[in-house]
């Protein structure tokens, strides 16, 4: 048999498939205005606005200058916005529009799809880090953390990504797309203001002891410990891995592809 449509089936090499999926998802994320707002604009507003307000009001953030304290917190916020809110909303609508179903019959295995999603998250996060750190440097941030602190920050951010991504997928896999949109944004707002992500848990008073055990608090405290004190944030990483386990088990038990 010959002809234009003569069968010649075959899957592309897995690495090529994952790469294609990663770039596709990252492109779509950056193309979407609301996602970009969440990923870049809000963290920048919090950083610049927070530092200006703290200077104006002469707030005492205990551990250092407002810029020193807020930069790790805003990095934590950026990680949370992408790995939780953006991922949940995007996945919720992928279920609704049958994208996951469609890709379910492409050669890309489900593990490859998941790897592509995580790859896209990491790409967007690199962009976020460049923008946030760049802005902080321009504003006069002089990071003091040594190699241990930087490693600790990277590990905490990775553990935070895993924790929030697993929780985001749990929401996206159980709720309808619109409900996911609402829930993911609401939880993001609640955690941003009351989750010890941008501001240290210590500034919340007694509630701060509880907030530090939230995934948001653990991520914020972890990045602050790493970047302010140059320490490796063991406890925060363990808490985040605990949340990852919870999120993964819940997602694995409940996620449906349509």
Partner 1 sequence: MPAVDPSAVPSGPAVVVDGLVMTYDGVRAVDGLSLTVEAGTITAVLGPTGAGKTTTLETCEGYRAPQQGRVTVLGLDPQRDRQELLPRIGVMLQSGGAWSGVRAEEMLRHVASLHAHPLPVSLLVERLGLEDCGRTPYRRLSGGQQQRLALALAVVGRPELVFVDEPTAGMDPAARRTTWELLEELRADGVTVVLTTHYLEEAERLADHVHIIDRGRLIASGSPFELTRAGTTTSIRLVVTEPFPPSAPDALRAALGPDTEVTALNPQTLLITGPADATTLATVSDWCERTGVLPESLTLGKHTLEDVFLQLTGRELR
Distance CA 46, CA 48 (A): 6
- H helix or E strand, kind and range, residue 233: none
* Residue 108 lies near partner 1 (rule: CB under 8 A): yes
* Residue 256 lies near partner 1 (rule: CB under 8 A): no
Distances (CA, A) of 106 to 11, 89, 113: 9, 23, 10
* Residue 3 lies near partner 1 (rule: CB under 8 A): yes
**Residue 63 buriedness (CB in 10 A; 0-12 / 13-18 / 19+):** middle
| Residue of 59, 64, 93, 174 interacting with partner 1 (CB under 8 A) | 93
Least distance (Å) from partner 1 to the CB of residue 233? 36
Distance CA 14, CA 108 (A): 7
Least distance (Å) from partner 1 to the CB of residue 184? 17
- The pattern of x and - marking residues 13 through 42 that bind partner 1 according to CB under 8 A reads x--xx--xx--x---x--xx----------
* Residue 213 lies near partner 1 (rule: CB under 8 A): no
**Which residue intervals of 32-146 are DSSP H helices?**
33-36, 42-57, 66-80, 87-96, 99-104, 110-138
| Residue of 61, 77, 88, 94 interacting with partner 1 (CB under 8 A) | 94
| Residue of 59, 63, 104, 248 interacting with partner 1 (CB under 8 A) | 104
| Residue of 15, 41, 55, 101 interacting with partner 1 (CB under 8 A) | 101
Distance CA 99, CA 251 (A): 18
Structure tokens at 17: 């498939």
**In Å, how far from its chain's centre is CA 204?**
23
Least distance (Å) from partner 1 to the CB of residue 257? 8
| Residue of 52, 53, 98, 210 interacting with partner 1 (CB under 8 A) | 98
Binding site for partner 1 (CB under 8 A): 1-13, 16-17, 20-21, 24, 28, 31-32, 93-94, 97-99, 101-102, 104-109
């Amino acid at each position: 048999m010959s002809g234009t449509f003569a069968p010649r089936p075959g899957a592309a090499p897995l690495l090529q498939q994952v790469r294609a999926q990663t770039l596709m998802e990252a492109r779509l994320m950056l193309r979407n205005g609301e996602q970009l707002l969440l990923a870049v604009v809000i963290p920048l507003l919090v950083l610049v606005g927070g530092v200006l307000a703290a200077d104006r009001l002469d707030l005492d953030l205990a551990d250092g200058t407002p810029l020193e304290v807020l930069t790790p917190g805003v990095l934590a916020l950026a990680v949370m916005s992408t790995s939780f809110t953006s991922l949940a909303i995007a996945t919720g609508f992928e279920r609704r529009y049958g994208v996951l179903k469609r890709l379910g019959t492409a050669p890309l295995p489900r593990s490859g799809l998941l790897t592509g999603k995580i790859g896209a998250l990491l790409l967007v996060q690199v962009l976020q880090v460049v923008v946030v750190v760049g802005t902080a440097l321009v504003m006069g941030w002089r990071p003091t953390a040594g190699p241990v602190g930087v490693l600790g920050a990277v590990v905490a951010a990775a553990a935070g990504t895993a924790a929030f991504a697993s929780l985001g997928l749990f929401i996206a896999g159980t709720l309808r797309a619109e409900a996911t949109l609402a829930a993911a944004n609401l939880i993001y707002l609640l955690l941003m203001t009351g989750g010890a992500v941008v501001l240290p848990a210590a500034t919340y008073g007694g509630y701060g002891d509880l907030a530090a055990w939230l995934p948001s608090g653990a991520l914020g405290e972890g990045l602050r410990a790493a970047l302010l004190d140059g320490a490796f944030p063991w406890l925060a990483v363990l808490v985040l891995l605990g949340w990852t386990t919870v999120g993964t088990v819940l997602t694995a038990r409940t996620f449906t592809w349509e």
